[in-house]
């Protein structure tokens, strides 16, 4: 309980630091991930130059776990698994086919290219890269005149991969952890699976209870003429309370906090169903799902990049040539090719297939938080190598995806416009 409270206090302090950084830069830190990461690195270098003795790196493992839980909860809250295939087949294919293919390509490439990397460590690296399916500049995509199907696929694919990837990462962490003295070799994997089961049960109950509580509060609020915007805020508040209850219950009962948060988000979203927009578009406000997504993107994501830049970015100087080659390949061809294969039979507008293949799936905030969380797992085999490889992949993913997002979006819009003109001419 004490560790949970200390971690929560650290997260609040980190959010305050990032908020101050946003005011100093004159823009939201969430809109500049590369700049936020660089600011964290500069703070680390300045502290080293001044001779300030930094605390042990594993002090941030607990807060990183809470941050990853919050990110998984917000992502899972965007999903209705039963309706995913029906609502957007492109997002379903990216999550169900593209993500496993990427995981296999990354794990095999890490095992072959990186020396002294075991199969378990290679799987752990692949799971870390899989965690974050977020595309950068989603705000720019939302405001662009792109087809609604592509916008919806980008949002749902990000949510599906981030939520479903969390249990895979926890299992790979258990497989890569060395057994203690007198324990069977499979003991860490068994305990990881057991904690996942507890987390899923606790999170499911809390998420279901949060959805029922939100509905009840909205029903009572209608007596006082509750507007649609206020109703969505009430539902979002109840969802946040359910997510916090899931994390607290999992930490007290031995469940996995990340899985508990993801399960709470999934069950809350399934129970809440589909939110209808109000008839008068002038009174529209973001619904409960969008509120949770924006809250995570404006708080958890920039804090993750800043902490990553401060704690793990200095490891980039330790990377050798093979690590650099793997990082570049993992964030380019090994990411885009499986996604393109998954979208081969998807019905998309002109240029949409190539756009989605490159636009999403780059390692980002989820990967950064998972790597920071690994610093508190000294029993993981090849931990230093995994952290160095993962740090370089996150840096390449953030810088590369950020640099290519604007020209890629412009090219897609031009291709879509040409397709519309050809359709109109025909």
* Distances 148 to 115, 145, 212, 286, 416 between C-alpha atoms, Å: 45, 9, 31, 17, 12
| Burial call 206-234: b when 16+ CB within 10 Å, e when fewer | bbbbbbebbbeebeeeeeeebebeebbbb
Which pLDDT score is estimated for 284? 41
Q: Give a yes or no: residue 195 inside a domain.
A: yes
CA dist., res. 67 & res. 260, Å (int): 13
Element (H, E) at 160: helix 148-176
Q: How far apart are CA 420 and CA 426, in angstroms?
A: 10
Query: Is it the case that residue 32 has pLDDT exceeding 80?
Result: no
The answer as to whether 73 is a domain residue is yes
Q: Which has more pLDDT, 272 or 422?
A: 272
Q: Does residue 29 belong to any structural domain of this protein? A: no
Instruction: Give per-residue pLDDT as tens, 242-283.
Output: 999 999 999 889 899 999 999 999 999 888 876 554 443 344
pLDDT higher than 60, residue 21:
no
Give 66's pLDDT tier (boundaries 50, 70, 90).
confident
Domain housing 160 = 2-24+55-179+187-276+283-425
pLDDT at 422 (0 to 100)? 60
- Return the SS3 of 180: coil
Check whether 293 has a pLDDT greater than 60: yes
Q: What is the dihedral of CA 167, 172, 177, 180, to 10 degrees?
A: 60
Average pLDDT, the chain: 80
Tokens for 279? 């008839």
| Tens-digit pLDDT profile for residues 138-152 | 666 666 666 777 777
Q: Are 331 and 57 in contact (CB under 8 A)?
A: no
pLDDT digits (tens, 9 = 90+) for 356-403: 877 777 788 889 999 999 888 878 878 888 889 989 998 888 877 666
- What average pLDDT does range 73-94 have in this prediction? 81
| CA distances, 412 to each of 112, 148, 151, 354, 416 (Å) | 35, 13, 12, 9, 6
Q: What is the CATH number of the domain that holds 89?
A: 1.20.1530
Answer whether residue 196 is part of any domain. Answer: yes
Residue 261 maps to a domain? yes
Is-contact 359 154, C-beta < 8 A? yes
Residue 118 in domain: yes
pLDDT in the model for residue 79? 82
Instruction: For residue 226, give Cα distances in angstroms to 142, 229, 232, 234, 275.
Output: 28, 8, 10, 10, 15
Domain count, the chain: 1
Q: What pLDDT is attached to residue 280? A: 38
* 118 Rama sector, left if φ>0, alpha if ψ -120 to 50, beta otherwise: beta
Q: What is the pLDDT of residue 105?
A: 92
Q: Is residue 161 part of a domain?
A: yes
Q: How confident is the model at residue 196 (pLDDT cuts 50, 70, 90)?
A: very high
Residues of the chain with pLDDT > 70, as a percent, come to 79
Strand intervals (E) in 279-385:
none
- Residue range 119-136, pLDDT digits in tens: 889 999 999 998 875 555
């Amino acid at each position: 309980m004490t560790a949970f409270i200390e971690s929560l206090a650290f997260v609040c302090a980190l959010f305050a630091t990032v908020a101050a950084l946003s005011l100093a830069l004159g823009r939201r830190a969430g809109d500049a991930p590369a700049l936020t990461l660089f600011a964290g690195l500069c703070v680390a270098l300045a502290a080293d130059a001044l001779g300030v003795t930094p605390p042990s790196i594993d002090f941030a493992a607990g807060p990183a776990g809470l941050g990853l839980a919050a990110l998984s909860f917000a992502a899972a809250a965007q999903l209705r698994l039963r309706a995913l295939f029906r609502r957007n087949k492109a997002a379903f294919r990216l999550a169900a086919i593209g993500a496993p293919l990427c995981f296999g390509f990354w794990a095999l490439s890490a095992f072959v290219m990186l020396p002294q990397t075991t199969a378990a460590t290679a799987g752990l690296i692949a799971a870390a890269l899989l965690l974050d399916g977020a595309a950068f500049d989603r705000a720019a995509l939302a405001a662009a005149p792109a087809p609604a199907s592509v916008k919806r696929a980008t949002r749902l694919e990000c949510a599906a991969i981030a939520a479903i990837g969390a249990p895979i990462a926890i299992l790979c962490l258990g497989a890569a952890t060395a057994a203690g003295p007198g324990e069977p070799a499979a003991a860490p994997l068994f305990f990881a699976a057991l904690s996942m089961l507890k987390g899923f049960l606790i999170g499911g109950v809390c998420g279901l209870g949060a959805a029922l509580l939100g509905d009840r509060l909205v029903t009572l609020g209608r007596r006082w003429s509750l507007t649609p915007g206020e109703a969505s805020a009430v539902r979002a508040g109840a969802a946040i309370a359910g997510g916090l209850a899931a994390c607290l219950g999992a930490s007290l009962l031995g469940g996995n906090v990340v899985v508990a948060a993801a399960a709470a988000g999934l069950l809350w979203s399934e129970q809440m169903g589909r939110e209808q927009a109000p008839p008068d578009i002038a009174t529209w406000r973001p619904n409960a799902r969008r509120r949770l997504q924006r809250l995570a993107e404006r708080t958890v994501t920039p804090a993750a990049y800043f902490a990553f830049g401060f704690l793990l970015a200095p490891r980039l100087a330790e990377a050798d040539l093979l690590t650099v080659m793997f990082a570049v390949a993992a964030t380019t061809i090994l990411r885009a090719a499986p996604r393109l294969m998954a979208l081969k039979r998807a019905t998309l507008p002109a240029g949409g297939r190539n756009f989605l293949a490159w636009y999403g799936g780059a390692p980002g905030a989820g990967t950064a938080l998972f790597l920071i969380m690994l610093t508190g797992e000294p029993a993981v085999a090849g931990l230093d190598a995994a952290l160095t490889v993962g740090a370089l992949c996150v840096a390449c993913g953030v810088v590369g995806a950020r640099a290519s997002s604007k020209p890629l979006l412009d090219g897609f819009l031009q291709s879509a416009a040409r397709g519309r003109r050809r359709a109109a001419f025909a």
